Chains A and B, each alone.
Chain A
């Protein structure tokens, strides 16, 4: 008891522990809280999984939508192709006329590149594409005109500039029709914007939902560990000491929810990939659902963990102060 005597001779003077030990024990409490919270989740696997799934579903939905958005924007990336002008000449205009027009238009500042597609070549292309060859055999001759494909210069890729250019090209001799297929792209972009906004709104709502779910779960955890909190407070546990295990609980729920969300997205995309591929093929499009990459997965898990922590923090902030010894 000599040690006790020494200690008590200092009275209530603070029993200081060296800061290095303090730091080590701080880390050790973090480790212990993390391990203990994880063990508690494991000990109630079904209810942990339920909470994780609620979170996972809520996170999977916006994640999937964001990924679909990104895939759609990739079609938009084919703007360069879609922005091309197809100039169909009148049937009586010969190949010389086509060459002459090509030579003249290439001088135009708005035109980046001109390709002449002779009628025979166009016919060959049609014949080689599926389903049409049989039909084409019924035709007597080649009804196709010579075609010029213009790629506009980078500076003239605005929709209005392209309309102007198309209008000017229509005036030229021997031109039958100029097709500028921008409408579908504009529609697609408009739709993508609507979908994007909707996704953002949905994501925001679901994020709030996730935080509430975790907050409620952690509130219940606080209730069930009331006695422990009271004892910790009685023996001199600080607020952050008492708070720590619950914040880790939220963090683990976040991680679990994030992993489940990732898994759900992968499963859903795998399930959809067949039909989407067939649909894209029918449209002759290279459209493909983009599976989440490393960046997206890291972002998803990071967000999930932060949301779990936020929910726990909120619950702790609201309810822990009320748990005081009486």
Chain B
């Protein structure tokens, strides 16, 4: 689903955010992406989202090499990627329903079907009763779940999450992680960037660790534990 082949990203002023990173993530696989802040987690996600382009190497999403994607094709790539943000990027000038409906409106789903799919997504995250509320009136955990509903409403084969539990307490965090695991069980490739080591340990999933732009660890968190231990 995602494949990195010797990917390097260098910004101007000779700052190298990623250095020769290679890994592959299959369909239905779930993995954590971890590392200190500035280790290159965000850059890696941005490369997948085509918010940035690799300086060298190849990024493949769904078997498609991204480096040759012209600008006007970018939206069509993004439609296959659901993204959950730490600051959830919700719009407070419209209802929960309209927030979740956005990816469907963008792809041109017929209006009558939008309602059905949005409610299915909201049901999945347990917010069906709040569809007509403004997201500003929801709690942090609920807002994050609206963000997740928006990310999966389009049934993307790939789901990225950038610090999705950053502002949440442990109970809410594990609730959200359970949601992600559920998606991966039905075939969605899920990648969660987080520095919450405790969470990674309890989840026991494949973990990619970045340090100074290099991939230093790729495996189960037990190995990670000893490193950080």
Q: Which residues of A contact B (CB under 8 A)?
A: 1, 3-5, 7-15, 17, 21-22, 24-26, 28-29, 32, 227-228, 230-239, 241, 324-326
Interface of chain B, helix or strand or loop or mixed?
Answer: loop
Name the contact of A8 in the complex, choosing from B27, B61, B78, B111 (C-beta under 8 A): B27
User: Is B187 in contact with A8, judged by CB distance below 8 angstroms?
Assistant: yes
User: Is A234 in contact with B78, judged by CB distance below 8 angstroms?
Assistant: yes
User: Is B1 in contact with A11, judged by CB distance below 8 angstroms?
Assistant: yes
Q: Given contacts A21-B110, A29-B108, are A230 and B72 in contact (CB under 8 A)?
A: no
User: Is B62 in contact with A11, judged by CB distance below 8 angstroms?
Assistant: yes
Name the contact of B49 in the complex, choosing from A7, A8, A28, A234 (C-beta under 8 A): A234
User: Which residues 36-54 of B have a CB within 8 angstroms of A?
Assistant: 49, 51
User: Is A235 in contact with B78, judged by CB distance below 8 angstroms?
Assistant: yes
CB contacts (< 8 Å) of B9 on chain A: these are none
Say how far A7's CB is from chain B's closest CB, in angstroms.
5
Q: Which residue of B lies closest to A29 (CB)?
A: B105
Q: Is B155 on the interface with A (CB-CB < 8 A)?
A: yes
Q: Which residue of A lies closest to B28 (CB)?
A: A8
Q: Which residue of B lies closest to A12 (CB)?
A: B62
* Other contacts beyond A8-B28, A11-B157: 5, CB < 8 A: A8-B157, A8-B188, A12-B1, A236-B78, A241-B75
Q: Which 8 A-B pairs have the closest CB atoms?
A: A12-B62, A236-B79, A8-B187, A25-B108, A236-B78, A235-B103, A237-B106, A236-B75
Q: Is B80 on the interface with A (CB-CB < 8 A)?
A: yes
Bound-complex Cα distance A15 to B103 (A) = 13
Q: Mark B1-30, 1 if CB is under 8 A from A, else 0.
A: 100000000000000000000000001100
User: Is B155 in contact with A17, judged by CB distance below 8 angstroms?
Assistant: no
User: Is B89 in contact with A231, judged by CB distance below 8 angstroms?
Assistant: yes
- Interface centre among B28, B108, B109, B111, by most chain A C-beta atoms within 10 angstroms, is B108
Say how far B175's CB is from chain A's closest CB, in angstroms.
18
Bound-complex Cα distance A17 to B157 (A) = 17
Say how far B127's CB is from chain A's closest CB, in angstroms.
18
CB contacts (< 8 Å) of A12 on chain B: these are 1, 61-64, 80, 157-158
User: Is B150 in contact with A11, judged by CB distance below 8 angstroms?
Assistant: no
Q: Which residue of A lies closest to B73 (CB)?
A: A238
Q: Is B203 on the interface with A (CB-CB < 8 A)?
A: no
User: Is B187 in contact with A235, judged by CB distance below 8 angstroms?
Assistant: no
CB contacts (< 8 Å) of A324 on chain B: these are 51
Q: Is B220 on the interface with A (CB-CB < 8 A)?
A: no
Say how far A24's CB is from chain B's closest CB, in angstroms.
6
Say how far A208's CB is from chain B's closest CB, in angstroms.
30
